[in-house]
């Protein structure tokens, strides 16, 4: 059986005949059916629907795993906090704990208390962001926006 791609010229030819009233709708349907294009299309849509279902299942599983990872990460942070608090409270800075060596580390971090008081040399310039929604609104209202156009896309709808 031919692929949809291989059937396309024949179906286009049939469609042109129907559009030009050289054949009737019944002849078109019978010939279309005879090519097997309807079965091919149905098969493609079944595969697409199954892939969409798989994708949805994977998204749900991803969300479930994300929640699980968050829970595990929170538990890790609680354990680390408890160990640190214990060591600080008892004055222990380093200890051999079986197969592990545990110690208290030290670091520094900058805390910005007021951004407006910072000298300009510490501010990094950033590129402006494009407001797509405003551009779309103006283009739909018939206005011209230099550097942008409104493009119409076609997509497949299956019900």
Residue 155 resides in a domain? no
| pLDDT tens-digit map of 87-144 | 999 999 999 988 999 999 989 999 999 999 999 999 999 999 999 999 999 999 999 9
Estimate to the nearest angstrom the gap between the alpha carbon of 74 and the chain centroid: 26
The reported pLDDT for the residue numbered 41 is 82
- The mean pLDDT of 33-61, rounded to a whole number, is 87
Give the total number of structural domains in the chain.
Answer: 1
Structure tokens at 63: 């969300």
- Residue 101's H or E segment, with its range, is strand 100-103
Burial class (CB in 10 A: 0-12, 13-18, 19+), 14: buried
Residue 1 resides in a domain? no
CB under 8 Å to 95, separation ≥6 — which residues? 87, 101, 102, 103
Residue 158 resides in a domain? no
Residue 47 resides in a domain? yes
The reported pLDDT for the residue numbered 1 is 64
Q: Which residue range(s) make up the domain with 101?
A: 36-123
Residue 152 resides in a domain? no
The reported pLDDT for the residue numbered 133 is 96
Residue 147 resides in a domain? no
Residue 159 resides in a domain? no
Whether 12 and 28 have beta carbons less than 8 Å apart is answered as no
Q: Length of the chain, please? A: 159
Residue 106 resides in a domain? yes
pTM of the model: 0.53
- Residue 96's H or E segment, with its range, is strand 94-97
Tell me how far apart the alpha carbons of residues 26 and 18 are, in angstroms, rounded to a whole number.
Answer: 10
């Amino acid at each position: 059986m031919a692929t949809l791609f291989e059937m396309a010229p024949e179906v286009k030819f049939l469609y042109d005949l129907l559009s030009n009233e050289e054949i009737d709708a019944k002849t078109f349907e019978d010939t279309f059916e005879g090519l097997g294009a309807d079965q091919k299309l149905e098969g493609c849509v079944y595969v697409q629907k199954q892939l969409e279902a798989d994708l949805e299942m994977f998204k749900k599983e991803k969300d479930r795993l994300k929640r699980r990872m968050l829970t595990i990460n929170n538990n890790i942070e609680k354990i680390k906090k408890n160990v640190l608090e214990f060591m600080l409270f008892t004055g222990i800075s380093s200890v051999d704990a079986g197969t592990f060596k545990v110690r208290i580390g030290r670091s520094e971090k900058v805390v910005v208390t007021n951004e407006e008081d910072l000298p300009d040399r510490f501010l990094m310039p950033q590129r402006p962001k494009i407001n797509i929604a405003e551009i779309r609104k103006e283009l739909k209202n018939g206005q011209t926006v230099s550097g942008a156009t409104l493009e119409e896309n076609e997509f497949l709808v299956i019900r």
